[in-house]
Each structure stands twice: as structure tokens, then as C-alpha cells.
Amino acid sequence: MTAYNDMEIMIVAAARELENGATVAVGTGAPCAAAMLAQKTHARDLIIMFEAGGISPCLVDMPISVGDSRTFHRASKAGSMGDVMDACARGSVDYTFLGGAQIDMYGNLNSTMIGTNHQKPTVRFPGSGGANDFASLCWRTMVLTVQDKRRFVEKLDFMTTPGWLDGGDSREKSGLPPGTGPYRIITNMAVMDFEPVSKRMRVISIHSGFSFEDIQAHCGFKLIKAETLAHTPDPTDLELSVLRKDVDPKGYLIGR
């Protein structure tokens, strides 16, 4: 087995969640790398969409922004943000990848601020961008993030993006489309989903070298443990080769 690092297992685990023929809305960074890896391995007909309007481009080099000209290279459509959001609203987008400074046990995200005073926060972040729209309208939301108590918190300082809100049926009661919501949380330690009734975060698969206790120790709230915990398969030599040579050959992400 070829050695790999934390970023590589996160990207590989995320890529495996994307099946051939699916549609995924991504930003830049690790989500884009995961979509590219899936398309170059097991999901040749994966349709990748970017917030700025690039729909199903041929991604030869990794874009550095959602409006990068590479997101339109040989695309099926060089559209607009309106086209992409319209597709989400129509229920045409299967997956989206998001991130944030904080996430709670119901998959709600904060990418706005840290602190208690919105006018004078301790730290100000970029805000929603298209994240709220994607999480509200795409069928399945996935989050890639490092496992850290500062990120996995009992209560968000600000809710930028809805997950399962207060758990249970609160998301559907809020008026968001039935059947949509958080699907997977992928970290450097584990893969998690959400318990079907309570909608609380649940560990379902653990990466090599870690235990459930390790994951819980790096989380600010109590996690649910699946009845049968799986072991995340290590990245294959093929996955690592494609990731390193074709997706991120300059190591912008996997070299961190």
C-alpha cells in the first residue's frame, strides 16, 4: 500500500461518494479535486457544475476559483449563476460540497463570523456565497473538513447555511424541499452521516490509524456511533496516482 496523507484520504473518500451519471455542484479546493478524481476514475459521466455558470466542463487543470476560465473549458454550457441556481431549484443537482468555519451536530454551517457581535466579530469570514442556496436546494450536501473541536461545535456563532436545523423534521417544517439535506461529513479521521430520526451526526466509517475515541476527542458535541462501524478502505494505488499526477500534480492541496 502506498503511503498517503490526511488530505488525500479526505479527497479519495469524497470522490467515492459520487456515482457515474450524477450531478454535483462544487467550489474550488478539495471538493473540486474530489469531483475531478471521481470523473477520472469510476464516474466518467459525472456532471460537474460551478457556481459562476460552468456546466460539465472538461477539467484538465484544477480551477483556482469558481469563475476561473478553466471551469468553462469545453463545457456543455457556459452559463451564469442564475442557470446553476435554477438547476438546483428544479431538483436537477444530486450533490453539493460545502465547508465552513463551524459545523454543529445537525450539519448546520457557519461561514460568516466568529464571536457574539455581528457588527464587531472576533473573525469575519466571506459569508454564504452560494452555500445557502446549494444546501437548501440540492438533494445531498456533503462537507469536507478537518476533525477539530473548534470546528465541530455544540452551538454555531452564526448559522449561514441550513443543515437539519434543530433535528427531527424541523428542516421540512421550515419549508425547505422535502428529501434534501446533509448527507455525508468527511474528515481526516472518519466518514459520518446523520441518524435518520434525530438527524444527529453519526460516525459510520473510520480511517486507518484512528478510533471512535479519537474522533470524539476532536469533536465539541457527543457523536452517535453506528451499530456496525466500517473501516474506510485505504486509497488504492490507482486513486493516488490519478490524484497526484492528473488532479493536483503541483500539490496545491495534497501538499499541504
What DSSP character marks residue 244?
I
Contact 152, 219 (CB under 8 A): yes
Pick the catalytic residue from 8, 17, 51, 239: 51
Pairing of strands 47-50, 23-26: parallel
What DSSP character marks residue 161?
B
The set of cell numbers assigned to 9 is 484520504
Amino acid symbol at 245: K
Taking CA atoms, 80 is separated from 60, 128, 169, 191, 230, in Å, by 21, 18, 33, 33, 41
Sign of CA dihedral 135, 232, 199, 173: positive
51 is catalytic: yes
Contact 58, 74 (CB under 8 A): yes
- Say how many Å lie between the first and final Cα of the chain, rounded: 21
The set of cell numbers assigned to 29 is 479546493
Taking CA atoms, 78 is separated from 9, 33, 36, 141, 256, in Å, by 32, 20, 18, 24, 32
Instruction: State the catalytic residues.
Output: 51
